[in-house]
Amino acid sequence: MDFFSQQFIPTSRQASRDAEAVSHILGFRAGLFFMLSAGIYSYLPLGYKVIRNIEKIIRKHMNASGAQELLMSALQPIDIWRKTGRDEILKDVMLTLKDRKGRELCLGPTHEELITEIAKRYTKSYKQMPFILYQIQTKFRDEARPRFGLLRSCEFIMKDAYSFDVDEAGLDINYQKMYEAYNKIFAECGVEYVSVEADSGAMGGKVSHEFMIPAEIGEDTLFYCAACNKYFGDIEACPTCKGKLHKRTMIEVGHIFKLGTKYSAAQEALFLDSSGARKPVVMGCYGIGVSRMLSAIIEGNNDSRGIVWPVSVAPYKVIVSILNDKFKDEAVKFSNALDERGAEVLIDDRPESPGVKFNDAALIGIPYILVFGKTFEQKGKVELEIRRTGQKHEFELDKALNYLLEQCDAKR
Amino acid sequence: MDFFSQQFIPTSRQASRDAEAVSHILGFRAGLFFMLSAGIYSYLPLGYKVIRNIEKIIRKHMNASGAQELLMSALQPIDIWRKTGRDEILKDVMLTLKDRKGRELCLGPTHEELITEIAKRYTKSYKQMPFILYQIQTKFRDEARPRFGLLRSCEFIMKDAYSFDVDEAGLDINYQKMYEAYNKIFAECGVEYVSVEADSGAMGGKVSHEFMIPAEIGEDTLFYCAACNKYFGDIEACPTCKGKLHKRTMIEVGHIFKLGTKYSAAQEALFLDSSGARKPVVMGCYGIGVSRMLSAIIEGNNDSRGIVWPVSVAPYKVIVSILNDKFKDEAVKFSNALDERGAEVLIDDRPESPGVKFNDAALIGIPYILVFGKTFEQKGKVELEIRRTGQKHEFELDKALNYLLEQCDAKR
């Protein structure tokens, strides 16, 4: 339970002049992040709560799939990239530096080479596989044109997982596990998403799937059949209903790859199989853009008043607006009862006008807005607004408590 | 509940040749971390569990003190450092780079300048203070001689907090809050520690306290009176009992500073006070070396057999060793009962000899070692070893469960 008057939530009416995307504009206005310089962002407390909620959902499903969390270094000697030739392929987007001893380093834009070095050091026998490792970590990219806020920035948070198997059959199993975990993650984050087979690009490997969220500012395009609610590649009509397809631009938020032995062969990450033969380990890699998700969720969840967070990732589940200080004790007691049962509450106790409070509550997108105002004075009832639908209800306190606990638990 | 056979815990008999400190040797042998290049470490799953436990304790006490979590960028334009002149003062340890547009950047070795820019942007009035912001983040240092593993590395995890007040009286209150939170954090981490007034060095400001942990490889020195169990600076005899003092080397794990207006004045982070006058905000900063804590805890908690984790930070609370596969079902059922009540269990189900299992259990330092072996077959009892004391008990299953739940809860 937090008090708005004490929280660092710098809302504002105006966004930065450079903000183009709706997520960028609303992110600034709701005080989610701070831009120090083009493409370089800090997450302010409200924005970071959302990031941590997304991370929690990711960890839950990664751990349930048997993946183990580790944390690799951001600094990487460029040597390991020379083994795969990706020091050249990714040259343009790689931030490089030298330390005081002249050691050539880069800031990892991704971690296939490093994780392969770890597997190479420790994985000597087929008996040690299969396993999946993952991390949630800050990555770096020298963007030619940083834009759209967190969607294309120079420093961003990724979840990257890597699977290790003795053969392709094992990879198929782990790939499927990750595919299913990804579906659970995006579903629980409350976003409309679609998964499609995709090109493997600079990652190499044969099979890959992208997970995408529809958004006006997306950089990928799919074709959508509204009647069948299905997405397709570049074809003219829906193969099911023959209806016309509509272009929809999409943001990529996840990408999974069957890498095979591209990295393990180049870096000589070899193991002894059951017949005693030396073979390169068979790998897959699985990424989610965590900070990008924050923006992608806003792109798909907003209206003219501001952000509309899905309950699962909302920084607070309920905002309790106190319109008169004489209701404060009761409002705090009520909020406490909600909060200690796991429905986080932000109490708007600021000495501001009701208009400012309503606008801020709508702007920062808390799913349930509860008002202790005139109705409470006159009828002993609180007004509850469901942010997404705009529906309003009047509740007695005990009924409001039960209703909110049910809504917040059901969706977590 | 995890199965050792499926976990990525690469224990070994030998450490890297370069390992000097006991924490470094044991960290390698227990499979806590991986060194890619001098001073550049990745945390493997077991080590990262400990890091996450330390972070959890830090977050708990930071949040309880009213501090709010955010996450700042690692990349920082060098411009903001020029305002305070610290681009020169910290030149030797700062990793710097240029992006494709020639923008001069550094990787933050600390974040006073950046947080001051954030305060400057949003904090315009005395009404918006006081507040404390903190982050848990990766920092970078171009170490002249990286050594002792995580104790002096080029990339490390820090908790850094910053307080903002209208005057010195406010700073005193926030400083005291942080001082008390620090005492709770180090106590809960289960380490012997001491806090001493210290020199403020490159941070500036007037008052500072260091939090230190005794360790052979420490780089600071204090004088210790065993009779009074007190630490002192460079004096000859204990002022209380007049007894002789012994030198003890210490590792610095925390440092808190009253910065005053050093940064806010230089960067013009100004606010309007209640009389309408423009003044620089009054700041404090508060650091804890998170990854350094991992090593410092090992330095103070080990024996000839390996690490001895305090329960609060242990990667698992209990290791259940199955010496015969026919006990597996019962052992798993028992472990599940423990684990779902919050006492995390690692089940050693590997097809290894009892000797290998005992050695690994002791090496990785799990507080309670439970054996399903001969005693279970003959008497229906499990053997429980308390890792720290070496004491052994025989328990019936229900008594073992109650005992372990009590021990693990009591210390969490």
CATH number at residue B390: 3.40.50.800
Same domain, A247 and A298: yes
Residues of chain B contacting A50 with CB distance shorter than 8 Å: none
What is the token pair recorded at A317? 């589940």
Could you give the C-alpha distances from B353 to A338, B322, B328, B337, in angstroms and in order?
A: 52, 10, 15, 26
Whether the predicted pLDDT of A182 surpasses 70: yes
Residue of B33, B65, B75 to mutate, interface with A, max A Cβ within 10 Å: B75
Number of domains in chain A: 2
Residues of chain A contacting B138 with CB distance shorter than 8 Å: 74, 138
What are A61-79's pLDDT values in tens digits? 999 999 999 999 999 999 9
Min Cα–Cα distance to chain A from B227, Å: 43
Same domain, A259 and A117: yes
Residues of chain B contacting A44 with CB distance shorter than 8 Å: 70, 118
Residues 35-54 of B with CB under 8 A from A: 36-37, 40-45, 48-49, 51-52
Whether the predicted pLDDT of A5 surpasses 70: yes
Residues of chain A contacting B31 with CB distance shorter than 8 Å: 122
Q: Based on C-alpha coordinates, what's the Rg of chain A?
A: 24
Q: Is B281 exposed, middle or buried (0-12, 13-18, 19+ CB in 10 A)?
A: buried
pTM of the model: 0.96
Task: Let me know the angle formed at the C-alpha of A293 by A292 and A296, rounded to the nearest 5 degrees.
Answer: 90
Same domain, A283 and A334: no
β-strand pairing of B270-272 with B220-225: unpaired
B40 CA to centre of own chain: 18
Q: Is A388 exposed, middle or buried (0-12, 13-18, 19+ CB in 10 A)?
A: middle
- B344 touches B1 (CB < 8 A): yes
Min Cα–Cα distance to chain B from A70, Å: 5
Contacts of A201 (CB under 8 A, 6+ apart): none
- A154 touches A143 (CB < 8 A): yes
Contact check, Cβ <8 Å, B37/A118:
no
pLDDT at B190: 93
What are A110-125's pLDDT values in tens digits? 999 999 999 999 999 9
Same domain, A281 and A348: no
Whether the predicted pLDDT of A410 surpasses 80: no
What are A138-173's pLDDT values in tens digits? 999 998 888 888 888 999 999 999 999 999 999 999
Q: How far apart are CA A121 and CA B35, in angstroms?
A: 10
Whether the predicted pLDDT of A355 surpasses 60: yes
- B241 touches B217 (CB < 8 A): no
Torsions phi, psi of A131, nearest 5?
-155, 160
User: What are the residues facing B230 on neighbouring strands?
Assistant: B225
Compute the CA torsion angle A196, A202, A203, A207 (nearest 10 deg): 40
User: What are the residues facing A302 on neighbouring strands?
Assistant: A307
DSSP letter for B165, please. Answer: E
Is B1 among the domain residues?
Answer: no
- Select from B275, B303, B331 the last residue of a domain: B303
User: What are the residues facing A140 on neighbouring strands?
Assistant: A155
Q: Closest to B73 (Cβ–Cβ): which among A40, A72, A133?
A: A40
pLDDT at A252: 94
Residues of chain B contacting A45 with CB distance shorter than 8 Å: 68-70, 133
Residues of chain A contacting B142 with CB distance shorter than 8 Å: 99-100
Going by C-alpha positions, the residue among A263, A290, A272 that lies closest to residue A114 is A263
Is B311 among the domain residues?
Answer: no
Is B96 among the domain residues?
Answer: yes
Whether the predicted pLDDT of A263 surpasses 70: yes
Banded pLDDT at A203 (limits 50, 70, 90):
low
pLDDT at A205: 67
Other beta carbons within 10 angstroms of residue B271's beta carbon come to 22
What is the SS3 assignment for B36?
A: strand
Prediction ipTM score: 0.96
Maximal CA-CA distance, chain B: 82
Average pLDDT over residues A224-231: 88
What is the token pair recorded at A20? 């183009």
Q: Closest to B118 (Cβ–Cβ): which among A42, A77, A133?
A: A42
Contacts of B308 (CB under 8 A, 6+ apart): B301, B302, B365, B367, B387, B388
Average pLDDT over residues B74-98: 96
End-to-end CA separation in angstroms for chain A: 18
End-to-end CA separation in angstroms for chain B: 18
Contact check, Cβ <8 Å, B70/A10:
no
What is the token pair recorded at A405? 């606990």
Whether the predicted pLDDT of B410 surpasses 50: no
Other beta carbons within 10 angstroms of residue B265's beta carbon come to 15
Banded pLDDT at A94 (limits 50, 70, 90):
very high
Is B130 among the domain residues?
Answer: yes
Average pLDDT over residues A242-254: 92
pLDDT at B206: 75
Q: Based on C-alpha coordinates, what's the Rg of chain B?
A: 24
Q: Tokens 């003044």 sit at which residue?
A: B279
Going by C-alpha positions, the residue among B157, B189, B161 that lies closest to residue B292 is B157
What is the SS3 assignment for B209?
A: strand
User: B368 is in which domain, residue-wise?
Assistant: 316-410
Whether the predicted pLDDT of A200 surpasses 70: no
Q: How far apart are CA B220 and CA B226, in angstroms?
A: 18
Going by C-alpha positions, the residue among A297, A17, A292 that lies closest to residue A155 is A292
Residues 322-351 of A with CB under 8 A from B: none
Banded pLDDT at A411 (limits 50, 70, 90):
very low
Residues of chain B contacting A32 with CB distance shorter than 8 Å: none
Whether the predicted pLDDT of B16 surpasses 90: no
What are B39-78's pLDDT values in tens digits? 999 999 999 999 999 999 999 999 999 999 999 999 999 9
Same domain, A152 and A274: yes
User: What are the residues facing A139 on neighbouring strands?
Assistant: A156
Residue of B8, B59, B83, B164 to mutate, interface with A, max A Cβ within 10 Å: B8
Min Cα–Cα distance to chain B from A129, Å: 8
Average pLDDT over residues B112-133: 97
Same domain, A274 and A295: yes
- Select from A252, A277, A303 the last residue of a domain: A303
What is the token pair recorded at A35? 């831009």
Q: How far apart are CA B377 and CA B402, in angstroms?
A: 21
Whether the predicted pLDDT of B122 surpasses 80: yes
Same domain, B347 and B255: no
Whether the predicted pLDDT of A177 surpasses 60: yes
Reduced 3-state DSSP string for chain A = CEEHHHCCCCCCCCCCCCCCCHHHHHHHHCCCEEEEECCEEEECHHHHHHHHHHHHHHHHHHHHCCCEECECCCEEECHHHHHHCHHHHCHHHCEEEECCCCCEEEECCCCHHHHHHHHHHHCCEHHHCCEEEEEEEEEECCCCCCECHHHECCEEEEEEEEEEECCHHHHHHHHHHHHHHHHHHHHHCCCCCEEEECCCHHHCCCCEEEEEEECCCCCEEEEEECCCCEEECCCCECCCCCCECEEEEEEEEEEEEEEECHHHHHCCCEEECCCCCEEECEEEEEEEEHHHHHHHHHHHCEECCEECCCCCCCCCCEEEEECCHHHHHHHHHHHHHHHCCCCCEEEECCCCCHHHHHHHHHHHCCCEEEEECHHHHHHCEEEEEECCCCCEEEEEHHHHHHHHHHHHHHCC
Average pLDDT over residues A26-50: 96
- Select from A303, A325, A350 the last residue of a domain: A303
Mean pLDDT across chain B: 94
Average pLDDT over residues A272-282: 97
Residues 119-158 of A with CB under 8 A from B: 121-122, 131, 133, 138, 140, 142, 144, 154-155
A275 or A220: whose pLDDT is higher? Answer: A275
| Nearest residue in chain B measured CA to CA from A93 | B100
| Nearest residue in chain B measured CA to CA from A136 | B48
Residues of chain B contacting A69 with CB distance shorter than 8 Å: 45, 48-49, 52
- A196 touches A174 (CB < 8 A): no
- Measured over the CA atoms of residue A235, residue A240, residue A245 and residue A247, the dihedral's sign is negative
A63: contact with B, CB 8 A cutoff: no
Contact check, Cβ <8 Å, A69/B45:
yes
Same domain, A294 and A323: no
What are B310-363's pLDDT values in tens digits? 999 999 999 999 999 999 999 999 999 999 999 999 999 999 999 999 999 999
Residues of chain A contacting B75 with CB distance shorter than 8 Å: 40, 140, 154-155
Same domain, B274 and B362: no
Same domain, B230 and B103: yes
pLDDT at A412: 39
Contacts of B325 (CB under 8 A, 6+ apart): none
What are B276-286's pLDDT values in tens digits? 999 999 999 99
Share of chain B above pLDDT 70, in %: 98
pLDDT at B234: 79
Is A97 among the domain residues?
Answer: yes
Q: Tokens 């992110």 sit at which residue?
A: A27
What is the token pair recorded at B152? 């002096």
Q: How far apart are CA B277 and CA A405, in angstroms?
A: 47
Is B327 among the domain residues?
Answer: yes
Going by C-alpha positions, the residue among A213, A404, A186 that lies closest to residue A316 is A404
E-assigned strand segments in B298-381: 302-303, 306-307, 318-322, 345-348, 368-372
Q: How far apart are CA B104 and CA B87, in angstroms?
A: 11
Q: How far apart are CA A381 and CA A375, in angstroms?
A: 6
What is the SS3 assignment for B392?
A: strand
A185 or A237: whose pLDDT is higher? Answer: A185
pLDDT at A219: 84
Is A74 among the domain residues?
Answer: yes
Contact check, Cβ <8 Å, A131/B6:
yes
- B198 touches B330 (CB < 8 A): no
Q: Closest to A71 (Cβ–Cβ): which among B48, B72, B100?
A: B48
Is A354 among the domain residues?
Answer: yes
Same domain, A217 and A238: yes
pLDDT at B199: 72
CATH number at residue A145: 3.30.930.10
Average pLDDT over residues A83-107: 95
pLDDT at B203: 65
Maximal CA-CA distance, chain A: 82
Same domain, A275 and A328: no
Weakest mean pLDDT among A19-23, A249-253, A336-340, B362-366: A19-23
What are B159-211's pLDDT values in tens digits? 999 999 999 999 999 999 999 999 999 999 999 999 988 876 666 667 899 99
β-strand pairing of B368-372 with A278-280: unpaired
What is the SS3 assignment for B339?
A: helix
Could you give the C-alpha distances from A49 to A52, A200, A314, A406, in angstroms and in order?
A: 5, 33, 8, 22
